[in-house]
Amino acid sequence: MTIKELDKKYVLPTYGRSDIEFVSANNATLRDSDGKKYIDFTSGIGVVSVGHANERVNRAICEQISNITHISNLYYIAPQAKAAQKVVEASGYDMQCFFGNSGAEANEGAIKIVRKHGERDGEIKRYKIITLQHSFHGRTITTVKATGQESMHNYFGPFPDGFVYADGIDEVESLLDDHTAGVMIELIQGEGGVEPQDKAKVQALEKLLKEKKIPLIVDEVQTGAYRTGEFTASQLYGISPEIITLAKGVGGGVPVGIVMTTLKNVLSAGDHGSTFGGNYLSSSAVCEVVDILEEKKKSGELEKTSLYFNQALEAFYKKHKDIFTQKVGIGMMCGLRVKDADTLTKIINSARENGVMVLKAGRNTLRFLPPLTITKEEIDEGFKALTITMSSL
């Protein structure tokens, strides 16, 4: 049986798969089983931040896997402690970390922290979590409920109580009450359509929450690990949240989720855990990824790459204003608003046929999440393929 036949027979059909099987990759370049070449403007939905098959990450993984892959969090794990140090120092915040395996797990951990904090903080039990409409926080039962997209709530209830949705940053204040345990936001909504929040409004919300002693959770699963130019978008926005969640790009392709928090004394032994979280393999990858990206940030290479990509995207946008209505995003998390959903689908499918991978976000946004190590040559080749795509619509 072919791989496609095996997949159809044995794998649950939870993904609308494209008819492609990738067999090799290097940086932002992919090749399929037929030898066809593609430029990856998606980085596996923001995951392979330092590119596919990064030699340094591969070396770090191979060295670790030949020694110890996994033991248990009942013992000290050297690369986990080092990864925590690197992540915290890169963020500039005074925090501690918990390691899981995904963004959803990171957000689950954040929710547990603020709910226990709310129960400890005075006599009134605080349990309510305010999130935003069009947000996305994960696929577990709790994080699906935290997600402010009604369509994602079909079939899977009953859900945990206590989640309410604000129609934008402006409405959060009106929803605060004595039962509010925390507010969870994305500074740029990814799945919601590459929607950056207004910086002044975010700073005003943070100030209000600090006055009311309500923790702010910033979901940086997609924006973290220098995706927006700084290690966290929170730094870019000039705020100091009580909790930041990371995943995707911080592992460079290895599954990892991280909760960072200033609320260091809330959870105690037994309150939370993960069998695989922060094991030798994943935390070794985190250490190397953070080192690589820090070097590129300090050398100015990261900024140059982002500038070159955005200039190419801007030029492409201006050439096709009959199709696109707006360029959005920050850093290497970008999008183009498309005039209608049908055209967006045609662009994505045709782009794939022409050898460039792009994504959908929200109802009408063409999303770009290239590897942060993408070369000028790969950028040029990708936009050349996109230009051919537009002429074929």
> Would the pLDDT of 80 be above 90?
yes
CATH topology of domain 3-53+299-391: Aspartate Aminotransferase, domain 1 (3.90.1150)
Measured between alpha carbons, how far is 251 from 57 in angstroms, rounded to an integer? Answer: 9
Residue 363 has pLDDT above 90, yes or no: no
CA distances from 362 to 166, 270, 332 (A): 17, 38, 18
List the one residue out of 371, 389, 379, 384 whose CA is nearest residue 25. 371
8 A C-beta contact, residue 243 and residue 261: yes
* Among the listed residues 156, 146, 251, 238, the one whose alpha carbon sits nearest the alpha carbon of residue 197: 238
pLDDT attached to residue 119: 85
Residue 191 in this model has a pLDDT that exceeds 80: yes
pLDDT in tens, 7-26: 999 999 999 999 999 999 99
Residue 364 pLDDT more than 90? yes
Where does the pLDDT of residue 133 fall: very low under 50, low under 70, confident under 90, or very high at 90 and above? very high
Q: How far is CA 8 from CA 16, 17, 19, in A?
A: 11, 10, 12
Contact criterion met (CB below 8 Å) for 289 and 250: yes
CATH topology of domain 56-298: Aspartate Aminotransferase; domain 2 (3.40.640)
> pLDDT tens digit string along 275-318?
999 999 999 999 999 999 999 999 999 999 999 999 999 999 99
Q: Give the pLDDT confidence score for residue 392 in this predicted structure.
A: 82
- Judge whether residue 345 has pLDDT over 80: yes
Give the model's pLDDT for residue 123.
72
pLDDT, residue 98, reads: 98
> Per-residue pLDDT tens for 254-263?
999 999 999 9
Q: What was the pLDDT predicted at 121?
A: 61
For 328, other C-beta atoms within 10 Å of its C-beta total 18
Structural domain spans, the chain? 3-53+299-391, 56-298
**Can you give the pLDDT at residue 351?**
97
- Residue 220 in this model has a pLDDT that exceeds 80: yes
- Contact, 185 vs 214, CB < 8 A? no
pLDDT tens per residue, range 94-126: 999 999 999 999 999 999 999 999 986 667 789
